[in-house]
Amino acid sequence: MAAKRKTPVKTRNPDLIRGVGKYSRSKMYHKRGLWAIKAKNGGVFPRHDSKPKSPAAAEKPPKFYPAEDIKKPLLNKRKSRPTKLRASITPGTVLILLAGRFMGKRVVFLKQLTSGLLLVTGPFKINGVPLRRVNQSYVIATSTKVDISGVNVEKFDDKYFSKEDKKKLPEEKKEDQTAVDTVLIKSIEGVPDLKAYLGARFSLKSGMKPHELVF
């Protein structure tokens, strides 16, 4: 595809109503500068004749014809990319987990991994949720944001979460957890009541209508 312009072209001939432009043919001729193109080319429009075709190489008949016509598979130009992230979920958003053993826990969103899953942390010391992957569909995004600027989440990707030893958690993972959390906890403690908020679970009480709640 040709390179896109930085600003899209504003139409030179705006519609008065559908089908009727503001400027007439002669006005448009002048506006488009066709007179200038002609003048540059000595009174006529420049002609771009097709180049004379170089003689094509003599085609040799193929050596092999298959017995039956083989069907070519259909073209698939799909590119794999992570799930589209909801606009309400940005790094630092407090999410409410809706399923799993941490159901109802309020948790801080760090980043979206290449598989589409969300990387999330409690922080562990506040509510017991470690660095974990979570599906976007099982999450409610609140409008509360935590300042996440001091946290480095570069090293975490989907490979990090593949388990070699299913029984014991390696020490480095514990260190990674504390490394991420200490910075986070400092920014959380800056906001009054936020630590208690993240430590509490969300639940629907009597009279709460989820479709009317603002998160």
Partner 1 sequence: MPISSFNETMHRCTTDASVHKMHSMLYYHWDTSMHALCIDELIAFDVSILKECIDALPVHRYAFKQILGFNLMHRCTMNPFKRYVEIGRVALVNYGKDYGKLVFIVDVVDQNRALVDAPDMVRSQMNFKRLTLTDIKIDINRVPKKTTLIDAMEKTDVKNKWENSSWGRKLIVQKRRTSLNDFDRFKLKLAKIKKAGMLGRKLAKLKKETAA
d(CA 82, CA 94): 21
Distance in angstroms (rounded) separating the CA atoms of residues 144 and 124: 19
35 binds partner 1 (CB under 8 A): no
> Per CB under 8 A, does 193 bind partner 1?
yes
> How far is the C-alpha of 50 from the C-alpha of 56, rounded, in Å?
16
Part of the chain binding partner 1 (CB under 8 A), chosen from 11-19, 43-51, 60-68, 207-215: 207-215
d(CA 105, CA 197): 10
Nearer to partner 1, 28 or 194 (CB): 194
137 binds partner 1 (CB under 8 A): no
Q: What are residue 102's DSSP bridge partners?
A: none
Distances (CA, A) of 123 to 47, 95, 194: 69, 12, 12
Q: Identify whether the C-beta of residue 108 lies closer than 8 Å to the C-beta of residue 122.
A: yes
Q: Is 89 in the site for partner 1 (CB under 8 A)?
A: no
Q: Kindly calculate the radius of gyration of the chain based on its CA atoms and give it in whole angstroms.
A: 31
Rounded to a whole number of angstroms, the minimum distance from the CB of residue 165 to partner 1 is: 38
Q: Please, which residue, 157 or 189, has the CB nearer to partner 1? A: 189
Instruction: Choose, by CB under 8 A, the member of 169, 179, 200, 204 that binds partner 1.
Output: 200
Q: Per rule CB under 8 A, is residue 214 in the interface with partner 1?
A: yes
Minimum gap (Å) between residue 214 Cβ and partner 1: 6
Residue type, 164: E
Interacting residue with partner 1 among 96, 117, 153, 183 (CB under 8 A) = 96
Which residues of the chain form contacts with partner 1 (CB under 8 A)?
Answer: 94, 96, 106, 142-144, 193-194, 196-197, 200, 202, 212-215
